[in-house]
Amino acid sequence: MKRTQISLYDTTLRDGEQSPGAALTVSQKVEIALEIESLGVDVIEAGFPIASATDFEAVQKISARIKNSTVCGFARAKKEDIDAVYHATKEAKKKRLIIVFPTSNMHLEVKMGIDKNQAIRLLNEMLTYSKPLFKEIEIITEDGTRSEIDFLVKIATECCLHGISHFTIADTVGFATPEEIKNIFSALVKLESSYPIVLGIHCHNDLGLATINSLTALKYGARQVHLTINGIGERAGNTSLEEIVMNCYLHGHHFPYQHNLNLNRIWATSQLVAKFTGIEIPVNKAIIGKNTFSHGSGIHLDGMMKNTSMYEIFSSDLIGAPKSNYPITRHSGKSGLKLKLNELGIELNDKKFSSLIERIKSYYSEKIISDTLLIEMIKDL
């Protein structure tokens, strides 16, 4: 099946860092940016330069170090924000201005205090100002999924008339459904026949729909998807990079999208981001959670001994993760214990093996038994 090329846009350093408590130093941001580039991400949103001197410095240093990925700076629809991005990204080999622009009635009327006609005038003013400064400009429609579709099309058309390169719909509060995403992109994709615009999707995960909403957007015309490592971000987080790329890899017949990511660097990048942000990865997190390659059920372990693909849909090696492990608990059963003993190079006769099973069930029913503790228990048999 022919695959469609898509662009992976990483916003870990901006939207991801907006997770409560995820403050990063300048040097940490640079190191993460370099790791993300090695991962194979096409676009790195380096930060929000106007926000602080530290943010400006981080964007500036990342711009100077990144060689292959496009570096983006985030701005509101304000000239001073745009100027800050311009100066911070001067050394970037490939750069892009990101302007977040509210489009829902709530955001226009309550936050901005303007009507739709005033919004159009403001957009035109900002694009006219920005176009001489940047070859690539991307508009992100804040609260786009709760906006009127006709107005989104009008905003997108204005962007096309200015020669803007990218137009992204943001599901800012993670409220959209796949059907609503379909309707929005079905309307917007018609512009692609007349203008060289790249449509994008930026989802939040408040209702747990970020991944399926992003994949739905790709199905109906988006060619760029905004992501974060480990799915971190404001509130419930953003679309998880690892979930998108692994769905494309494993379900290519449903999601036939080609990307440039090095899958075997996913685990290392994930661990680095978790370490620097201090945001622990939930053990049951899809793809990169610790339990993804851990098996405790005796029934599952028996299946794993016969064929690992019975309970693992991909190998840990594929994403550069540690090999599968088989913690001993009261659920492990005979198969689990045999697997662990073989791993440790320990042989027991039937009587000692049965005694060990009973001891595990009787005294450690709620605990994971470490290898050290298991060996001590065997010595006492």
Reported as a single tens digit per residue, the pLDDT across 85-118 is 999 999 999 999 999 999 999 999 999 999 999 9
Terminal-to-terminal C-alpha distance of the chain: 58
Residue 364: predicted pLDDT: 55
| Full-model pTM | 0.87
Helix, strand, or coil (residue 285): coil
CATH number of the domain at 4-277, please?
3.20.20.70
pLDDT at position 309 is 56
From residue 154, give the alpha-carbon distance in Å to each of 59, 141, 324: 32, 12, 52
Under DSSP, is residue 227 helix (H, G, I), strand (E, B) or coil?
strand
Query: What pLDDT, on a 0 to 100 scale, did the predictor assign at position 46?
Result: 98
Domains of the chain, by residue range, sit at: 4-277, 294-379
Low-confidence ranges of the chain (pLDDT < 70): 294-311, 324-327, 330-333, 335, 363-367
Looking at residue 299, what is its pLDDT?
Answer: 45
Q: Which residue carries 């137009």 as its tokens?
A: 167
pLDDT of amino acid 360: 76
Buried b (16+ CB within 10 A) or exposed e, 15-28: bbbebeebebebeb
Radius of gyration of the chain (CA): 25
DSSP string, 47-72: E-GGG-HHHHHHHHHHHHH-SSSEEE
Residue 131 CB partners (closer than 8 Å, separation 6+): 137, 162, 163
| Separation CA 244–CA 346 (nearest Å) | 41
Which uninterrupted H or E stretch holds 272?
helix 266-277
pLDDT in tens, 191-214: 999 999 999 999 999 999 999 999
